[in-house]
Chain A
Amino acid sequence: MSTAVISSTSAAAKAPGKLRRPSVPVILALTWLVIAVGGALLADVVAPFDPLKQEILQAMQTPTPEHLLGTDVLGRDVLSRLMHGAGPTLSSVAVAVVAYTGIGLVLGLIAGYSGGWTDRAVVALTSIVIALPVIMVLFVVLSVFRGNTWLAMLVFGVLSSPIMTLLVRSSAIAVRNELFVDAARVSGLSPLYIVFRHVLPRSRGLIIVQGAVFGATALIVESSLSYLGFGTVPPNPSWGNMISEASTVITSVPWLLVPPGAVIALTALSLGVIGDSLRDSVSAGWSTSKLTPSGRRTEAPRVAEAGTGPLLAVRDLSVGYHSAGGIVPIVKDVSFEIGRGETLGLVGESGSGKTTVAFGVLGVIGEGVAVTGGSVVFDGADLVGQSDAVLAQYRGKRIAYIAQEPMVALGPSHRVGDQLREAIELNDGLTGEAAQQRVIELLTLVELRDPAGSARKYLHELSGGMAQRVSIAFALAGRPELLVADEPTTALDVTVQAGILGLLMRLREQTGMSVLIITHDWGVIADVCDRVVVMYKGEIVEQATAERIFAEPQHPYTQALLTSNPHGAQPGQDLPVITGTFTTPSMERAALAGAGTGAAS
């Protein structure tokens, strides 16, 4: 059931080209565009009055049943003028959009598909045209070819087209680099056929989005030109010159501003809404925040006296993520303890929920994920759902964290030494020179060859191994009692893995801290762990001391894991993927309950 939900959401996310059913705003936007274009096309038939017919006696009326949108300065019917004005306005916008998409499409496809010098020439041309001040060119054009808005809008479309060209080009390059296009080319299909059959359909969404958004811009530009008097010449109406006429009487009848302005705004808005909704369905969607919002509880309830029980006691911890169909569990009823100075290993195949358990313990599960039950008791205080203010006493100070991917663990735009110093100031209370000294001390502690030099570097200038050492220094900054290390060596080069692991173990000896280490690697378990927790499909299937796990594994899943990778396996070897299904505790309970009801009936 839950897997069905997961696969259906990921399928939806992976089919970007497919359009969803239109939302209400999109339907409204389309309706408005149909009305506007329809009104323009049928103006001669449906407009209630002649747009030029003046009735001075009825001038400057607000809406009446006869004149639905009122009358202008000369007593002409505003609605009829709007309908007749739509033609010139919308057609010159269409000219701009056609030029924009047409040129962008042709140049973009040619450049992206053929590559080489053609591509370079097109890119060079676009980079110059993009730098031209388009609006200014329009005024030069209009000063020479007076009143020729069509030409001006054509120029506007042409000069704006580099944006479209570059977009189409990059998507054409992306498609070209895909295998099936290569295959098509090798099998001798004509480039034109390949472009139409394979490249164009994939870029379609992008082209429509960009075209719609540009249409909105072109409409605003056209109305500005017409407002300034460079468009349709009065008495003939256009949306822009109607605003300009209305502006002469704004003190007496401000109402006259409303109809033409609202029509322009509605049309631009509709184009924008359509473009935006398409963009959302084209792009992969929202990125979810990794920052966990503050909980509501402002006081950590004492479950036990501090300093008495185990350092960490996780009880029935359940975590799930929010989806359209409700909360999908990722981790179910997980319970374990870590004693002071103890190292606990957490093993399980990929996707079994190990990282999620770690995040639950650290209180950093991120947005869209929630702890749905259970408790995380650290030194006698339950941390689940606590506010940032409470967690500030623990995060970094008593519990620290090392991530699986050291190359993305720190901020990319600040020097690592500066960030480390910030951690020291926050978690160790040192400031100024003392903090700076501690930076070097910590970087020396993690055995970096050039501590002072490394401190001045940015993350991207470090190797994976060096970055992980800096991460470890980070975690040590607050002198924590518990270190959570999520696969600290998995992402690293095999040659440096042993070095990092050895460092961690030496630091554990020196500081006496407890460690929760997540790993794929039985070798790591054998080397460093006192006890082991085995996870499978979000649940704990077995926990025992390290010796016992290797000697007498109880659960069939553990046995399968071990037989395929027996005791003494080489460190650095990943857990194999175990085929076949195993029962988890929750399945057993369900089966028992089923048997119980079966027996009762």
Chain B
Amino acid sequence: MIRLIATRIAVSIPVLFIMTILTFLLASLVPGDAATQILGPDATPERVAQLNAELGLDRPVLEQYLDWLAGIFRGDFGTSLFSGEPVSRLLEQRFWPTFWLATFAALVSAIIGVTFGVVAAVKGGWAARVLDGIGMLGISLPNFWVALLLIVLFAGTLGWLPAVGYTAPEDDFGEFLSRMVLPVTAMSFAGVALIAKQTRESMAEALSRDFMRFLQANGFPRRRLILKYGLRYAAIPVLATISATFVNHIGGTVTLESVFAIPGLGSMVARGTTNHDLANIQGAVLLFTAVILLVNLLTDIVYTLLNPKVRANA
């Protein structure tokens, strides 16, 4: 188990470094662009050079990179080129909306997906086919489009829910929930589909094991075999899918936070990309990467806890 975690961390560290290098290398390919962006195309070359010097953008890339890296260890992610705010403060403010969105969506996907999957595996026949159809549809619908349709229906036509915006849970919890409903729903579509499919396949696999028959013949009720032994057997692949879904959701926040005007990390990335605000993107992407690596690490740990064979060897 310790070995497994060590391996995972050994892979994670290069990944984080690759991400930092990648963002810097790419940025260096288009030098000086930031100043031109801020000052506009009409600025004089002198003024551009001056601003570049002010921002430290005229130094060698390696120097800038090492500086930035050193800053990160101090919790300093640099300054947003546009708003002039420290990136670390932006990250702090914008972390929670994204966290709530991705976490709620993962929870909803997991609960509904596993339920659907178990029902389809146990009922088989038409239930499984209907679920396969829905699942396929769930994966094929672009989440931002689903989001817009949901807004038209529930905020527009029916007027049940607010269309866009975000309220922090500590400010007004009811408002927070009602504003979360649509984004979480839109985000969960694909997750439900993927998790349901994986659950169905893994449950079918579990039910086809010989021990199901042995235990049934020796008096174990069907329901208990499905809900206890079947789910337990299916847990590992299903868990992997849930974790992959959470990672997908993090990517999905970029589009959905833009649709719903949620002030999170996703919309920060989207806006940063439009504005060429590299400091913002670097910070947000790095944070996202760290979260994803952490989720993978946690998944691995739960794996080993769930799998007696691995646990015994580790």
Q: CB-nearest residue of chain A relative to B8?
A: A131
Q: In chain A, residues 467-486, which have Cβ atoms closer than 8 Å to a Cβ of chain B?
A: 471, 474-475, 477-478, 484
- Does A449 interact with chain B (Cβ within 8 Å)? no
- Does B58 interact with chain A (Cβ within 8 Å)? no
Q: Is the CB of A423 within 8 A of B219?
A: yes
What class of interface size applies to chain A in its complex with B? 35 or more
Q: Is the CB of B144 within 8 A of A230?
A: no
Q: In chain A, residues 223-237, which have Cβ atoms closer than 8 Å to a Cβ of chain B?
A: 223-224, 227-230
Bound CA–CA A143/B279 (angstroms): 11
Cβ-neighbour of B273 out of A139, A224, A367, A419 (below 8 A): A139
Interface string of A37-81 (1 = CB under 8 A from B): 000000000000000000000000000000000000000000000
Q: Is the CB of B309 within 8 A of A395?
A: no
* Chain B residues near A174 (CB-CB < 8 A): none
- Does A257 interact with chain B (Cβ within 8 Å)? yes
* Chain A residues near B177 (CB-CB < 8 A): none
Q: CB-nearest residue of chain A relative to B128?
A: A286
Bound CA–CA A272/B132 (angstroms): 11
Q: A290-B216, A291-B212, A413-B307 are in contact. List 6 more A-B contacts (CB 8 A).
A: A133-B247, A134-B251, A145-B30, A243-B144, A243-B148, A403-B213
Shortest Cβ-Cβ A-B pairs, 5 listed: A396-B219, A135-B251, A287-B208, A268-B140, A401-B217
CB distance from A307 to the nearest CB of B (A): 22
Bound CA–CA A491/B214 (angstroms): 16
Q: Is the CB of A265 within 8 A of B312?
A: no
Q: List 27 A-B contacts (CB under 8 A).
A: A133-B292, A135-B250, A136-B289, A139-B273, A141-B26, A146-B276, A223-B145, A224-B255, A243-B144, A246-B148, A247-B148, A261-B148, A265-B137, A272-B140, A273-B136, A289-B212, A291-B225, A396-B219, A399-B217, A400-B219, A410-B214, A411-B229, A412-B308, A413-B233, A427-B218, A460-B309, A471-B214
* Chain B residues near A127 (CB-CB < 8 A): 11
* Chain B residues near A251 (CB-CB < 8 A): 156
- Does B124 interact with chain A (Cβ within 8 Å)? yes
Q: In chain B, residues 257-314, which have Cβ atoms closer than 8 Å to a Cβ of chain A?
A: 258-259, 269-270, 272-274, 276-278, 281-282, 285, 288-289, 292-293, 296, 306-309, 312
- Does A142 interact with chain B (Cβ within 8 Å)? yes
Stretch at the interface among B14-22, B60-68, B97-105, B180-188: B14-22
Q: In chain B, residues 131-169, which have Cβ atoms closer than 8 Å to a Cβ of chain A?
A: 132, 136-137, 139-145, 148-149, 151-152, 156
- Does B12 interact with chain A (Cβ within 8 Å)? yes
Q: A144-B30, A220-B142, A227-B144 are in contact. Are A474 and B285 (CB under 8 A)?
A: no
Q: CB-nearest residue of chain A relative to B230?
A: A291
Interface string of A350-367 (1 = CB under 8 A from B): 000000000100111011
Q: CB-nearest residue of chain A relative to B248?
A: A135
- Does B210 interact with chain A (Cβ within 8 Å)? yes
- Does B59 interact with chain A (Cβ within 8 Å)? no
Q: A133-B251, A139-B254, A367-B124 are in contact. Are A426 and B220 (CB under 8 A)?
A: yes
Q: A144-B27, A254-B152, A269-B136 are in contact. Are A410 and B215 (CB under 8 A)?
A: yes
CB distance from B251 to the nearest CB of A (A): 3
Interface string of A571-582 (1 = CB under 8 A from B): 000000000000
CB distance from A393 to the nearest CB of B (A): 10
Bound CA–CA A413/B213 (angstroms): 16
Bound CA–CA A388/B209 (angstroms): 20
Bound CA–CA A471/B225 (angstroms): 17
Q: Is the CB of A224 within 8 A of B142?
A: yes
- Does B2 interact with chain A (Cβ within 8 Å)? no
Q: In chain A, residues 452-497, which have Cβ atoms closer than 8 Å to a Cβ of chain B?
A: 458, 460-461, 471, 474-475, 477-478, 484
Cβ-neighbour of A265 out of B141, B211, B247 (below 8 A): B141
Interface size of B by CB at 8 A reads 80
- Does A405 interact with chain B (Cβ within 8 Å)? yes
Q: A133-B288, A133-B289 are in contact. Are A410 and B217 (CB under 8 A)?
A: no
Bound CA–CA A414/B228 (angstroms): 10
Q: Is the CB of B285 within 8 A of A228?
A: no
- Does B204 interact with chain A (Cβ within 8 Å)? yes
CB distance from A392 to the nearest CB of B (A): 7
- Does B221 interact with chain A (Cβ within 8 Å)? yes
- Does A132 interact with chain B (Cβ within 8 Å)? yes
- Does A4 interact with chain B (Cβ within 8 Å)? no
Q: CB-nearest residue of chain B relative to A246?
A: B148
Interface string of A254-281 (1 = CB under 8 A from B): 1001000100111011001100100000
- Does B23 interact with chain A (Cβ within 8 Å)? yes
- Does A288 interact with chain B (Cβ within 8 Å)? yes
- Does B207 interact with chain A (Cβ within 8 Å)? yes
- Does B94 interact with chain A (Cβ within 8 Å)? no
CB distance from B218 to the nearest CB of A (A): 4
Cβ-neighbour of B208 out of A128, A261, A288, A460 (below 8 A): A288
Cβ-neighbour of B12 out of A131, A143, A229, A413 (below 8 A): A131
Bound CA–CA A392/B223 (angstroms): 12
- Does A316 interact with chain B (Cβ within 8 Å)? no
Bound CA–CA A268/B193 (angstroms): 14
- Does B69 interact with chain A (Cβ within 8 Å)? no
- Does A292 interact with chain B (Cβ within 8 Å)? yes
Q: A140-B281, A250-B156, A396-B218 are in contact. Are A410 and B140 (CB under 8 A)?
A: no
- Does B108 interact with chain A (Cβ within 8 Å)? no
Q: Is the CB of A289 within 8 A of B251?
A: no
- Does B205 interact with chain A (Cβ within 8 Å)? yes
Q: Is the CB of B207 within 8 A of A290?
A: yes
* Chain A residues near B277 (CB-CB < 8 A): 143
Bound CA–CA A174/B270 (angstroms): 44
* Chain A residues near B140 (CB-CB < 8 A): 216, 220, 265-266, 268-269, 272
Bound CA–CA A474/B216 (angstroms): 12
Bound CA–CA A460/B312 (angstroms): 10
Q: Is the CB of A292 within 8 A of B14?
A: no
Cβ-neighbour of B144 out of A137, A224, A399 (below 8 A): A224
User: Which residue, B14, B205, B210, B278, has most C-beta atoms of chain A within 10 A?
Assistant: B210
User: Which residue, A131, A137, A142, A362, has most C-beta atoms of chain B within 10 A?
Assistant: A131
Bound CA–CA A139/B282 (angstroms): 10
Q: In chain A, residues 433-449, which have Cβ atoms closer than 8 Å to a Cβ of chain B?
A: none
Q: Is the CB of A254 within 8 A of B296?
A: no
Q: Is the CB of B210 within 8 A of A403?
A: yes
User: Which residue, A135, A254, A364, A366, has most C-beta atoms of chain B within 10 A?
Assistant: A135
- Does B89 interact with chain A (Cβ within 8 Å)? no
Q: CB-nearest residue of chain A relative to B265?
A: A136
Q: In chain A, residues 554-600, which have Cβ atoms closer than 8 Å to a Cβ of chain B?
A: none
Cβ-neighbour of B251 out of A136, A272, A286, A412 (below 8 A): A136
Q: CB-nearest residue of chain B relative to A260?
A: B145
CB distance from A272 to the nearest CB of B (A): 5
* Chain B residues near A426 (CB-CB < 8 A): 219-221
Bound CA–CA A272/B190 (angstroms): 13
Cβ-neighbour of A140 out of B22, B148, B214, B232 (below 8 A): B22
CB distance from B111 to the nearest CB of A (A): 22
Q: Is the CB of B270 within 8 A of A289?
A: no
Q: CB-nearest residue of chain A relative to B157?
A: A254
